[in-house]
Amino acid sequence: MSLENKLFKGKTLAILSGGGDTPAINSSIEAVRNRASMLGYKVYGIRQGWKGLLGDGDVMDLTCQPYNGCYGGTALRSSRTNPFSSKPGEDRVGQIMNNLKRYKIDVLVTIGGDDTNGAAKKLYEQEGIPVIGFPKTIDNDLRTRTMHEVDGKEIEAVICPGFPSAARTVARLTNMIKTTTESHSRVMVVEVMGRDAGWLTGTATFGGAHLALIPEVEITRERKDFFFERVNELYMRNPKRNLIVAVSEGIRWYNEETGKPEMVFASSEKDEYGHPRFGGVSGVVASEISRRLGIDARAQITGYFARAGECREYDRRLTATLADKVVDLLLREAYGQMPVLKSVVPYEELEEFNTSSIDMGSIGNKPLSCEYYDANTFTFTPHYHDFLGKVMEKMNLMNFDYDFPVVIPEK
């Protein structure tokens, strides 16, 4: 196609990324930018999410610029700015409309989770801004309506760019912590991000975590007693005398003082979408294990490491595949939509025909499906392992099995 004949010549498409970063955002930006350029769009990048459309605007020209999608995070930077949480006298929606006009932006692609894409959809409905959403979150809790077929059964799963790379990191970190846990015969409580959903916590079991606690299952007083029994039993049964427990940052853990299950927060602050910041529940669980069972226990928060590092292979191809679907949405002027994977497929089957699109207004949150976790044993099921086995890159796990003979002194 010659330059003159390009379909969208003279039009401008802008990309923004909002919310917590992931290792796959630069890859998403690169993939959308490349395809939009081929259609003839001039491509802009808006910095710091919706914040870059407030005031005078903060807009970069990405057309023909070098862009490294393997590098994690987002070169456009991110923020949790909410267009609809204006302070008195501040009309954020008005500022956004004004900047879209000033910079002559025709279409907006919003890379984000429920918050960023929910706000984009509202702007589309209220103000008529042509928007296309693009999924993103390491929490993997967007309702992407991706079906997982296993043993003739259909389970509603989720696959969000960023999760496959984060999964590998959490599995790797858990596997690394095994050596020190074994050396000191300890219980190690590994805390994993994920807010209100346990999708990411399950990945620690790939790295060697024996038990897991997730936000979807409240830890009542009875469940807590049962959990301690399980910890004790598994620890004692292990000839190496050690145990790794993965806990989601957002679990509700029975608090002896207040007499009810409660979350543990790192701060009392809330972001502009009303989310509190979690952190520290692993320390509470570890100290109660030490106190109740008399077993040496420690806590380790994996935290932002899950969001850090390079974009892994599955995410590279996933973002490219979803960007192919963005082209389709642009050609059909199907705004207010977000591309998603139709079914859980391995790397080789990530192709556009496996995608579809959903209404950005009905994304919402998707907790971990009940088929993936066994609340009676505090473990993830074989169905979850089948799901993760498809989306997570294979890795070499460290293991050192030994059974040295005991030396008895000669008489």
Task: Work out how close the CB of 137 gets to ligand F6P at its nearest, in angstroms, rounded to a whole number.
Answer: 6
**278: contact with ligand F6P by CB under 6 A:** yes
| 139 among known catalytic residues | yes
User: Strand pairing partners for 155?
Assistant: 148
How many residues are present in the chain?
Answer: 411
Q: Could you tell me how many residues of this chain bind ligand F6P (CB under 6 A)?
A: 11
Is residue 12 classed as helix, strand or coil in its secondary structure? strand
Task: Work out how close the CB of 89 gets to ligand F6P at its nearest, in angstroms, rounded to a whole number.
Answer: 26
Please, which of residues 82-141 interact with ligand F6P by CB under 6 A?
A: 137-139
CA distances from 235 to 187, 244, 273, 323 (A): 8, 9, 41, 47
Q: Which is nearer to ligand F6P, 40 or 303 (CB)?
A: 303
Q: Which of 21, 114, 115, 139 is catalytic?
A: 139
CA dist 33 and 14 (Å) reads 9
Instruction: Kindly state the helix (H) or strand (E) to which residue 168 belongs, with its residue range.
Output: helix 163-183
User: Strand pairing partners for 358?
Assistant: 338
- DSSP letter at 311? P
H-type helices in 43-156, by residue range? 92-102, 114-127
Strand ranges for 113-259 from DSSP E = 131-135, 146-150, 153-157, 187-192, 211-213, 243-248, 253-255
**16: contact with ligand F6P by CB under 6 A:** no
Please, which of residues 63-82 interact with ligand F6P by CB under 6 A?
A: none
Please, which of residues 332-371 interact with ligand F6P by CB under 6 A?
A: none
Q: Which of 178, 195, 312, 317 binds ligand F6P (CB under 6 A)?
A: 195
Q: Which of 43, 188, 193, 286 binds ligand F6P (CB under 6 A)?
A: 193
Q: Which of 307, 366, 383, 390 binds ligand F6P (CB under 6 A)?
A: 307
Quote the Cα angle for 280-285-289, to 5°: 150
Q: Which is nearer to ligand F6P, 163 or 235 (CB)?
A: 163
- Residue window 27-46: x/- pattern of binding to ligand F6P, with contact defined by CB under 6 A: --------------------
With contact defined as beta carbons under 8 Å apart, do 13 and 41 qualify? yes
Q: Which residues are catalytic?
A: 139
Residues making contact with ligand F6P (CB under 6 A) = 20, 137-139, 193-195, 249, 277-278, 307
